């Protein structure tokens, strides 16, 4: 059995891969269909962020409506629930997933609340929204963008 630290590292890698996969294939792939649940990402979040030079007013306060941020919360909560059994099976992995989900949300929200912070701290995500939404699928760290050769120039 893998020791806790190795499980944690594997969980961080799995979370980054999942972030890349969900963003590319669910949010941008399935999200192209305006009738899809995932359409909120392109038709709400990207539209608002591009119009407001990265700022998304839906992230300026806690979600009270069924907006992009509330839908993102739902997806993240589902990811957490699906990974709950790993606390008994691979505790380090589970902690890494939970840690990654919280870091993802914090960084993503911050990026859409403070444009200059996003430009300096997450330039790949800033460019994803404003220059090329067909590259830079990762938010927290561009590792899987490098591995999958989808990293755009920053």
Q: What is the pLDDT of residues 92-126, one digit of tens each?
A: 999 999 999 999 999 999 999 999 999 999 999 99
* pLDDT, average across residues 30-57: 95
C-alpha distance from residue 144 to each of 8, 20, 67, 137 (Å)? 17, 6, 28, 8
Rounded CA gap, 106 and 117, in Å? 12
Q: Is the pLDDT of residue 154 over 70?
A: no
Which residues, including other chains, have CB under 8 Å from residue 48's CB and lie 6 or more apart? Answer: 55, 56, 57, 58, 68
- Map out the domains of the chain as residue ranges: 4-147
**pLDDT tens figures, 67-101:** 889 999 999 999 999 999 999 999 999 999 999 99
> Average pLDDT of 134-143?
96
pLDDT band at 153 (very low <50, low <70, confident <90, very high): low
């Amino acid at each position: 059995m893998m020791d806790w630290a190795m499980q944690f590292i594997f969980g961080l890698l799995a979370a980054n891969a999942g972030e890349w996969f969900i963003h590319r294939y669910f949010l941008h792939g399935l999200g192209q269909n305006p009738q899809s649940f995932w359409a909120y990402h392109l038709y709400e979040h990207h539209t608002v962020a591009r119009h407001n030079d990265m700022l998304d007013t839906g992230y300026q306060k806690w979600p009270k409506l069924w907006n992009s941020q509330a839908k993102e919360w739902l997806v993240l909560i589902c990811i957490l629930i699906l990974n709950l059994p790993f606390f008994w099976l691979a505790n380090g992995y589970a902690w890494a997933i939970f840690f990654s989900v919280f870091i993802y949300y914090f960084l993503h929200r911050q990026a859409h609340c403070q444009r200059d912070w996003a430009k300096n701290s997450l330039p790949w995500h800033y460019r994803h929204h404003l220059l090329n939404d067909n590259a830079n699928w990762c938010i927290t760290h561009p590792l899987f963008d490098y591995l999958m050769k989808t990293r755009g120039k920053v």
